[in-house]
Amino acid sequence: MSTESAISGVNPNVDTSRRRFLTLAASGMGVIGGAAVVWPILASLRPSAKAQAAGAPIAIDLAVIEPGQKFTTTWRGKAIWVVRRTPEMVASLTKVTGELVDPDSASSKQPEYTQNAARAIKPDISVLIANCTHLGCIPTYRPDHPAPDVAANWEGGFYCPCHGSKFDLAGRVYKGSPAPVNLSIPPYRFASDSQIVVGEDPSAA
Ligand code: FES
């Protein structure tokens, strides 16, 4: 999803599984009308197609992501996830470390400023490259728990249906998965408390 969609509040890539269908249906016409009005303005703010193809940084409005939700966009041709983790989700990260291949992310790819317990600049905001580190499939977001169809002691995370890799809510891979390392993390920085920029390190601010 592009930056302009995040700004406009039309968020087809936010995982809204908890919301009711009827609520979406009732608000649909209003959203369409509003989008038509703001589109010319947003189009003028959009990075050029050439800049996007070259991997220009993208800004993401965090206000559109509710606690527990996953937002999906793309950067440099890769799917990018942003998850607003609840305190419970952050707490779950310490419960599973004994079951992980690389709990300290020593052999995984991430900026050094995210090589910490939460794999994040701020624990409640997780930013991940969504491609499974096995063969590149996009895993399914499974924050629900317990979830015996995924694992007996599942605390929430991501499940790759292609060959069964499992990742926790920081993208750390479970032992026994075909994926060899954790999900990667792109460079990113906080432009403000409510906006991140993917593709730039904090030192770029
Ligand atoms: S691509 Fe994810 S488990 Fe194979």
Encode pLDDT of 134-188 as tens digits. Answer: 999 999 999 999 999 999 989 999 999 999 999 999 999 999 999 999 999 999 9
pLDDT attached to residue 23? 41
pLDDT attached to residue 49? 61
Contact between residue 79 and residue 130 where contact means Cβ atoms under 8 Å apart: yes
The closest residue, in CA terms, to atom 4 on ligand 1 is 163
Asked if residue 165 has its Cβ within 6 Å of ligand 1, the reply is yes
Q: How far is CA 189 from the centre of its chain?
A: 14
Residue 150 tokens read as 């995924």
Asked if residue 179 has its Cβ within 6 Å of ligand 1, the reply is yes
Contact between residue 45 and residue 101 where contact means Cβ atoms under 8 Å apart: no
- Give the residue, 7 or 174, on which the prediction is more confident: 174
Specify the CATH architecture of the domain 3-204: 3-layer Sandwich (2.102)
Q: What percent of the chain has pLDDT over 70?
A: 74
Reported confidence tier of residue 205, pLDDT bands at 50, 70, 90: confident
Reported confidence tier of residue 12, pLDDT bands at 50, 70, 90: low
Contact between residue 139 and residue 72 where contact means Cβ atoms under 8 Å apart: no
Ligand 1 atom at minimum distance from 135 CA: 1
**180 Cα: distance to centroid of ligand 1 (angstroms):** 10
- Give the residue, 38 or 199, on which the prediction is more confident: 199
User: Where in 50-93 does DSSP place strands (E)?
Assistant: 58-61, 70-75, 78-84
Range name among 15-24, 67-76, 79-88, 126-135 with the lowest pLDDT average: 15-24
Residue 43 tokens read as 């189009």
Ligand 1 atom at minimum distance from 179 CA: 3
Residue to mutate (ligand 1; options 129, 137, 150; most atoms within 8 A of CB): 137
Longest dimension (CA), the chain: 52
Contact between residue 130 and residue 72 where contact means Cβ atoms under 8 Å apart: yes
What is the average per-residue pLDDT within 99-107? 97
pLDDT attached to residue 5? 40
Asked if residue 47 has its Cβ within 6 Å of ligand 1, the reply is no
**139 Cα: distance to centroid of ligand 1 (angstroms):** 8
Please spell the DSSP secondary structure of 87-102, one letter per residue: HHHHHHTTTSGGGBS-
Residue 189 tokens read as 């920085």
Cα separation, 75 vs 60, in Å, equals 11
What is the average per-residue pLDDT within 38-47? 50
Asked if residue 137 has its Cβ within 6 Å of ligand 1, the reply is yes
User: Omega into 146 within 30° of 0, i.e. cis?
Assistant: yes
pLDDT attached to residue 146? 95
**What value does the mean pLDDT of the chain take?**
84
Question: How far does the chain reach from its first CA to its final CA, in angstroms?
Answer: 23
How many residues belong to the chain? 205
**10 Cα: distance to centroid of ligand 1 (angstroms):** 31
Asked if residue 166 has its Cβ within 6 Å of ligand 1, the reply is no
